[in-house]
Structure 1
Amino acid sequence: MRKKFTWRSYSVAGVFATIAVLIIVQMARIQTSAEAADFREEANRYKGWFESIYPARGEIYDRNGNLLAGNQTVYEVGVTLDEVENAQSIAEILSTVLDLDYVDILNSINNADEEQIYLILADYISAKEMAELKRIESDIEKDGDSRDNLAGLGFREHLARSYPEDAIASNVIGFVNRTERGYFGVEEKYNDLLAGVPVQVWVPADPNRVEESPQVPDGTTLILTLDRELQARTEEILDQSLYNYGAEAGTIVVMNPRNGEILAMASAPRLNLSNFSEYEQIFDNASEYNRAINMPYEPGSVMKILTMAAALDLGVVTPQTSYTDMGVYPVGGATIKNWDKKSWGVQDMTGCLEHSLNVCLAWIAVEMGTDNFYGYMNEFGLGHPTGIDLSGEASGRLKVPGDGDWYFVDLATNSFGQGVTATPIQLMMASSAIANDGQMVTPHILHGMLRNGTQYNFPPQSAGRPISKETANTLNEMLANSILGEDAVATIPGYRLAGKTGTAQIPTEYGWYSADETNASFIGWGPVDDPQFMIYVWLEKPTTSIWASKTAAPVFAKVAEESVRILNIPPDIIRIQYAAGQ
């Protein structure tokens, strides 16, 4: 009985052994057959991985076609792991040419996950470095030395953001990091338009088949309102002014008050966009990146033109209204004094502006009343963002009756720019109503865009009409006349300009104002009869003089001179004669 079962066991085992041998023979036949080569070739064709293909990022130009942000070809260096024959040779070549760590490269290759197909070793390699790598690879292939075999090493080119102007307009443009995300300025505000729509595709492992990757539409190209030449000159003037007057930082903005186009927007310090990794070494916080829109401050006497505009529009005063300045004005339990602690006697309203009398403007605000004063300031846009198309715009703050920290004395101090915060761009938008027949314009940086070969331009946008045309023209004349007095350093030969200084004490963390540190500002525009530029100057903590008339006003004049030259604005007499047909 036992022999019978033993025989059966041997029989079954023999059958299974025979089947196993046949399977092995069949596997060997399949692998060595002509069809096997076809199968292997077909498998290799499907060897690869899924990857997001990003479009070429849209370029950025100034209004005259100067490239401000573009793209350059860079290279990714990697290895197809199952094709690597000599990891040591690859590590040695890359460490030598690209200044990478030999041990790190070697460990990355040798310790890669088993399921990993492709390993990136370096990226954003310059064309010069790439040329050197390819030269070495070619030399090794010619020599045929297996000890230096670079099998498995591959290169893939792609685009990276480039900034040919480096720091020029950097506070406006912003930058793109290596994750292809825009930060600050235009790059962040219009990131989706510039970036385009990425596509998920299958990428073949064979670098010779890279042309099989589908093409995706490029991102949208943007055309800015900036004038590259005026921008560069404005930045030079700002940098020199910070040095001349010992100021910590500053900003200068040039805008067309008729349509809100930003022609130049300089801020210092600035970032070299080709080295955006230095951001943290230059700025303590994001609000410093573009002071013109990101950093509200107490502007001081430049606010007086808005107070006067409101009073004229209401009919509370006229240019001829007489006011006897005694040097002090009691209000809300406090006493308002002039900047020089002196009395100026009898003045008309132009005199109040020319001598920048706090007492006179405080009296005007009280005569207007809280509802009227704050109603007009709200219409001028204070306390609200302008809507400029740059990222990170701040709103500033206008305290109003009903706020827990508002007191009646604030009505008086707000009238001359103390206790209220605003950005330069907010004050420019508000003042555009005075230069533009009562019509306020929204400041903007985007002139147009290119998409699918077609250019689309954007029309100016109105921001409201806070004052009448008559009020605007009246105040224009008052400011043009007042600038000829104490602020005569802000004038330029051949052109009639209007403007106002602002010297503001800086509030301390203890709740009072510093007597030794100020913000010096100036806002002005011209030509008065046909304003084509508006300029705002803000110098932070100048040390040679705390007064705007000694610092910001002459800076305004320098920028105005460059503006009329670069924008090709003829002197007044020539324009007037031309308009008259002479």
Structure 2
Amino acid sequence: MAVHRLDNRRPAPRTSSSGRQRRVLTLSPVPAGRLWAVYLLMAAGLCGLALRLAWVQVVQGPELLDRARAVQTQTITPLGRRRTIVDRQGSLVALDEERFTLWAHPRYFAFPGDDIGKLRSPLDVARKLSSVLALPMADLVRTMEGRKSGVKLSTDLDPETAQRVRELGISGIDLEPYPQRVYPQGNLFANVVGFLNLERVPQAGLEQSRNSDLRRHEATRQLRRGADGTPLPDGLKAGVLYGDDLRLQLTLDARLQQVAQMALSKQVKQWKAKRGVALVMDVRNGELLALASTPTYDPNQFWKFKPGLFREWSVQDLYEPGSTFKPINLAIALQENAIDPAGKVNDNGQLTIGGWPIFNHDRKGNGVIDFPTVLQVSSNVAMVKAMQRVKPAKFWNWLHALGIDTKPDTDLPGAVAGQLKSLETFRTQPIEPATAAFGQGFNLTPLKLLQLHAMLSNGGKLVSPHITRGLRSGDDLAPAPAANGLQLIRPEIAQTVLNWMETVVEKGSGKGTYIPGHRIGGKTGTAQKAENGVYIAGARITSFVAHLPINDPRYVVLVVVDEPKGANAYGSTVAVPVARQIIESLLVIEKIPPSKPVAG
């Protein structure tokens, strides 16, 4: 029998209580080379991560930061909106309305609820858009067919139509907003407000002259957002969210402007005149309540009209004022003590000055008459004799001091200076002061004549005519400025001339503006029209200027009609009826009470 050693025998498998055998694994030591390999591999990975982190942080950091901010930041570019313009009562004259351009991108067409990846055809989209846009479906399909993106379907969409397009929820349809300048009053204020062209560049009127004031305060805004789109307060500069609600307020009154425009247009058409203008001024502060001009244009469709209509001729074109300047000259003579308010002058119907004959308009004499009668009959001869008592140099100095040859201080666009012969010419050529005595031989604008007559009603103080009250916030309206002016004529002299002008309405050529109970003064004018220093045969400029109320002067009305046709075309027949309608409306709008009892 052989004998075996126990330590040479393999261990017997162990048996658990359940009878199963458990296998015992023998652990073997790991070689050192393998441990070093694993260690070095992990160290290399960590070093790589560290280098990558350093690369991202240091080298790529600025670029990645810009990319992140581009995703997180929303840039809002201003649309270039303009401030609203309102009249003295707050009625809208010009405003920006939001309009939209509709763009289509057919490669992205899909409807709400469509499966992801489903692409709708232009025909499907056209069916939905046709009724909303009021465009033929076939035209929409033809416009989009064969194109992938950037298709302009419509422009000048109003906000209501744009909202209906949004409610369709069509993917691939974009609405691009832009502001459009709108003039709700049409042609009523076109002559002074002007317009913007299709590129929103100011072309005329206040839109051009007050462009910097009418541009809204708008800045490019960059708004930071969080990962969920929530706006973050950081990154906003002070004032970037400022809401600009300023409005430019005019002195003009839309109600009076409408009356003046309609009355003037009717007369210009009836007398087949070239053009006409009607102005109303508050003599105390120079505010214009109306400046109506015809012919005019619609600024909402400016491209349909001739560019010559875009300028306001009453502040840019010169003319000889004629007899409407006679009250100004009489005030100069009174100021110089050259005539006696109770004095008289002999009107024999004609006289010769420096070899030149001068006649009255009817070539008749009026005998010895007082100065109220001089204005009533509009005597040229009597005016020459009265102004001969003022030395030519003094006369010229007064015309210069009144600003005949100076550009008026006004906010009306394009205002120009008048033309006055030189002092030397006045001294050496007697015909010059003689013709100037009855309003010829020099030129001014209707605006300048209005300003000089306002001086008489303002107690001899010269005020600056203007049509704006400035910028106001929200719905606030600016109050009328206080009375002002530069004192040139003594108050008692100005009132004397106004009293004389009242007789013109009571007894003379201004009878057409007589209104019982109201004291109104006036003066008609029918002047020859000159061009390049030569009088045009048969061409006249008819006018009428009115002051009211004479007992407490506040308003001046001037109507000028250029080249009316007809043998009976005079200031009394052409301009007076327009002034009458304006005065009647002015009395109601400004609530001017009667100055004296109305005879029963």
Q: Is the contact made by 1:302 and 1:417 (CA closer than 8 Å) also made in structure 2?
A: yes
Cα deviation, residue 393, structure 1: 1.3
Matches within 5 A, 1:121-520: 123-127=155-159, 129-131=161-163, 133-134=165-166, 137-138=168-169, 141=170, 151=172, 153-201=173-221, 215=241, 217-218=243-244, 220-278=246-304, 281-284=305-308, 286=310, 289-402=311-424, 407-451=429-473, 457=479, 459-460=481-482, 462-487=484-509, 488-508=511-531, 511-520=533-542
Task: Report Cα offsets for 1:403-425 as digits up to 9, x if no partner.
Answer: 79995422222222222221121
* Alignment partners' CA distance in 1, 2:447 and 2:459: 19
Q: Does 1:536 align with 2:558?
A: yes
Cα deviation, residue 183, structure 1: 3.6
Specify the code of the residue in structure 2 equivalent to 1:185: G
For the residue of structure 2 that corresponds to 1:551, the secondary structure is helix
For the residue of structure 2 that corresponds to 1:572, the secondary structure is coil
Distance 1:83 1:390, change over 3 A: farther
For the residue of structure 2 that corresponds to 1:182, the secondary structure is coil
Cα deviation, residue 320, structure 1: 2.7
Q: Does 1:564 align with 2:587?
A: yes
- What TM-score does the superposition give when structure 1 sets the normalisation length? 0.77
Specify the code of the residue in structure 2 equivalent to 1:251: V
Q: Is the contact made by 1:486 and 1:549 (CA closer than 8 Å) also made in structure 2?
A: no
Residue in 2 aligned with 1:34?
Answer: none
Q: Does 1:63 align with 2:88?
A: yes
Specify the code of the residue in structure 2 equivalent to 1:74: R
Distance 1:465 1:104, change over 3 A: farther
For the residue of structure 2 that corresponds to 1:199, the secondary structure is coil
Task: Report Cα offsets for 1:355-395 as digits up to 9, x if no partner.
Answer: 11112222333331222112111222212232221211122
For the residue of structure 2 that corresponds to 1:573, the secondary structure is coil
Distance 1:203 1:436, change over 3 A: same
Task: Report Cα offsets for 1:69-128 as digits up to 9, x if no partner.
Answer: 223221133468996889977997999948799799769977x9xxxxx89776433235
* Alignment partners' CA distance in 2, 1:571 and 1:124: 52
Residue correspondences, number: 512
For the residue of structure 2 that corresponds to 1:284, the secondary structure is helix
Q: Is the contact made by 2:517 and 2:597 (CA closer than 8 Å) also made in structure 1?
A: no
Distance 1:220 1:318, change over 3 A: same
Specify the code of the residue in structure 2 equivalent to 1:332: G
* Alignment partners' CA distance in 2, 1:464 and 1:226: 23
Cα deviation, residue 500, structure 1: 0.7
Cα deviation, residue 321, structure 1: 2.5
- What TM-score does the superposition give when structure 2 sets the normalisation length? 0.75
Distance 1:355 1:83, change over 3 A: same
Q: Is the contact made by 1:434 and 1:472 (CA closer than 8 Å) also made in structure 2?
A: yes
Cα deviation, residue 162, structure 1: 1.9
Specify the code of the residue in structure 2 equivalent to 1:421: N
Structure 2, gaps ≥5 residues long: 1-63, 110-118
Residue in 2 aligned with 1:24?
Answer: none
Cα deviation, residue 235, structure 1: 1.2
Larger radius of gyration: 2
For the residue of structure 1 that corresponds to 2:502, the secondary structure is helix
* Alignment partners' CA distance in 1, 2:156 and 2:428: 55
Cα deviation, residue 221, structure 1: 0.7
> Whose helix fraction is larger, Structure 1's or Structure 2's?
1
Q: Is the contact made by 1:53 and 1:199 (CA closer than 8 Å) also made in structure 2?
A: no
Q: Is the contact made by 2:191 and 2:312 (CA closer than 8 Å) also made in structure 1?
A: yes
Matches within 5 A, 1:29-48: 45=71
- Aligned-residue RMSD, C-alpha: 4.0
